[in-house]
Amino acid sequence: MKTTIVLLGPPGAGKGTQGEKLTDEFGYVRLSTGDMLREAVRNGTELGKKAKEYMDAGALVPNDLIINLMKEKIAGINGGVLLDGFPRTVEQADALAEQMEVDLALNFDVADEELVSRLTQRRSCPNCNAVYHLVTKKPAKEGVCDKCGAALYQRDDDKEATVRNRLEVYRKNTMPLIDYYSKKGTLVTIEGSGDIDAIFEQVKKAIQ
């Protein structure tokens, strides 16, 4: 079974959704840079203060901040790990390669208009980071997280104009990683549209 997995794909492709399922079923530790940054913003830390304006605009947080953050987190890991939202630039991928070898880069492919529709209807849990959707993945009780009971919220960067900017940023900065991991022979691309559980079956095959 693969132990170091990078989850790749545009905003809204399902990295968090599938990552959560992998963690629940196989016990991987999921390190999501987006979740870490949002927590830092909520807690008003130095990192959060620096990251907020980039995140609100749908831009990438500078490489040095992210690389330092992840170096520390990865150093503490022992066992299977999922990297969700990192690396996001070739510079970040090179920094990661110096620290650990990636077994599998799992790339989720979804059309732009579906991504916009998914993200504008996403609701997130600020406490345990579970993700929901107003139509395709409703919580049992409206507005309440099934897992921990916290009130769900809409992320500031899930407004349509910001989502479209995030897609542009993805194309320019992160898409080159598809080629990067393909050349290393570790890339597997999965069609990310359709039933969440059916996609998870493909994911399970890829991690074997």
Q: Contact positions toward ligand AP5, by CB under 6 A?
A: 9, 11-17, 33-34, 37, 54-55, 58-61, 66, 85-86, 88, 92, 118-119, 122, 131-133, 136-137, 157, 166, 194, 196, 199
Q: Measured from the CB atom, is 107 or 186 closer to ligand AP5?
A: 107
141 is catalytic: no
| Min separation Cβ 18 and ligand AP5, Å | 7
Cβ(92)–Cβ(181) under 8 Å? Answer: no
Torsion sign across C-alpha atoms 134, 5, 61, 43 = positive
| Min separation Cβ 154 and ligand AP5, Å | 10
| Min separation Cβ 39 and ligand AP5, Å | 11
Cβ(78)–Cβ(68) under 8 Å? Answer: no
Torsion sign across C-alpha atoms 28, 127, 85, 121 = positive
Structure tokens at 147: 């897992």
The 8-class DSSP code of residue 28 comes to: P
147 is catalytic: no
Q: Measured from the CB atom, is 93 or 186 closer to ligand AP5?
A: 93
Q: By 3-state DSSP, what share of the chain in percent is helix, strand and coil, each rounded to 5?
A: 50, 15, 35
Cβ(185)–Cβ(7) under 8 Å? Answer: no
171 is catalytic: no
Q: Measured from the CB atom, is 80 or 192 closer to ligand AP5?
A: 192
42 is catalytic: no
Angstrom distance (rounded) from CA 10 to CA 29: 21
Residue from 15, 30, 38, 118 carrying the catalytic annotation: 15
122 is catalytic: yes
Q: Measured from the CB atom, is 110 or 186 closer to ligand AP5?
A: 110
Residues involved in catalysis: 15, 88, 122, 155, 166
